[in-house]
């Protein structure tokens, strides 16, 4: 089963200029086949759009978790992922 993860950034207005979202997502301690960042600021998916993207990419299970960017450029997660689908 293909798993997708949506990481909702709770403080996306203060991102460092050198932030690399793909690199930060690859350092997460969770196993998934595809991941995407969502945030309320411009330039990111909102959660429904990210969820739709996951379904069109063939993800059979989609979860969402909150996170924030820490000084090292990595993502710190809050709580456990919530399963949205599958």
pLDDT at 3: 96
**Mean pLDDT calculated for residue range 59-80:** 92
Domain ranges of the chain: 3-85
Closest CA to 8 of 49, 54, 65, 53: 65
Residues in the chain: 86
d(CA 43, CA 62): 21
51-65: b or e for each residue (b if 16 or more CB lie within 10 Å)?
bebbeeeebebbbbb
d(CA 19, CA 79): 23
Is pLDDT above 90 for 67? Answer: yes
pLDDT at 73: 82
Is pLDDT above 80 for 13? Answer: no
Structure tokens at 53: 């993207």
Q: What is the pLDDT of residues 41-57, one digit of tens each?
A: 767 889 999 999 999 99
Q: Is the pTM of this model over 0.85?
A: yes
d(CA 85, CA 62): 5
């Amino acid at each position: 089963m293909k798993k997708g993860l949506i990481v909702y950034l709770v403080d996306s207005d203060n991102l460092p200029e050198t932030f690399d979202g793909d690199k930060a997502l690859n350092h997460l301690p969770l196993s998934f086949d595809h991941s995407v960042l969502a945030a309320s600021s411009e330039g990111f998916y909102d959660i429904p759009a990210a969820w739709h993207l996951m379904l069109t990419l063939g993800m059979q299970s989609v979860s969402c978790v909150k996170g924030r960017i820490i000084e090292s450029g990595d993502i710190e997660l809050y709580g456990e992922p919530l399963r949205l689908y599958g």
